[in-house]
Amino acid sequence: MNWHAVRAIYGFEMARFWRTAMQSILAPVISTSLYFVVFGAAIGSRVTAVDGVPYGLFIVPGLIMLALLTQSIANASFGIYFPRFAGTIYEILSAPISPVEVVIGYVGAAASKSMLIGLIILATSALFVPLRIEHPVWMLAFLVLTAVTFSLFGFVIGLWADGFEKLQLVPLLIVTPLTFLGGSFYAIEMLPPFWRALSLFNPVVYLISGFRWSFFGKADVSLGISVGMTCLFLAICLGLVTWIFRTGYRLKS
């Protein structure tokens, strides 16, 4: 393993993140504060508790997961798309570095950035509600697993996209709606039977459910199913990345 190359890619991507720290960090903090004002105060005054958890506290895992998914995809997709756009991707492909090392560098940096933002949102939430995390180890495990999985997904999007518009296509039209409909701000059991059954086809439901369980010990689906579905999506993303490097899809054309 060429760790020098991995560190070079990782360090370059993290440096780019810190150059735009104001935009990268301040924007999620402001967005989280607005969510708490709108949902926590306005709706929370009418929905006192969900499964025995105050509504303002109940939405914390959903807010973190919403930011985690969008930031992971955005960071990873832009990170690999820009070298393709600038033409510097050929320098990486011709360097003595394997595809595994390229993926570790880019995906590792994207996951690190999204996890940092997730932890900042968690700290911001403490300013509005009394935080309660019953299973902190599982919380960190879900944070890492989700960040890595969706950074891989963003990496695939960055290789697939042939324009800046397509970088936003999947996150805006698919991922964000699925996140809002995945129980970010409500419990699945609150839905009518038909919509509750339909929600189980939404993969984001399992991510949010498992993450919420780590906070309150309560979930819409079992922990094992949540972990299994997340690992399944991770395996699919790994398979896609492997296929792309083996075929050279969007890399050599």
Examine the pLDDT at 235 and tell me if it is beyond 70: yes
Q: Are 67 and 116 in contact (CB under 8 A)?
A: no
Label residue 44 by pLDDT band (50, 70, 90).
Answer: low
Burial class (CB in 10 A: 0-12, 13-18, 19+), 151: buried
With respect to residue 54, please indicate whether it lies within any of the assigned structural domains.
Answer: yes
The DSSP symbol for 49 reads E
Would 72 be classed as within a structural domain?
yes
Residue type at position 47: V
Q: What is the pTM of this model?
A: 0.89
Domain assignment present for 252: no
150-182 residue pLDDT tens: 999 999 998 888 877 788 888 888 888 888 888
Reported as a single tens digit per residue, the pLDDT across 126-139 is 888 888 899 999 99
Mean of per-residue pLDDT scores for the chain:
85
Number of domains in the chain: 1
* Domain span including residue 117: 3-247
Residue 38 pLDDT grade (very low, low, confident, very high; cuts 50, 70, 90): confident
Q: Is residue 33 part of a domain?
A: yes
Which of the 8 DSSP states describes residue 37? Answer: I
* 253 assigned to some structural domain: no
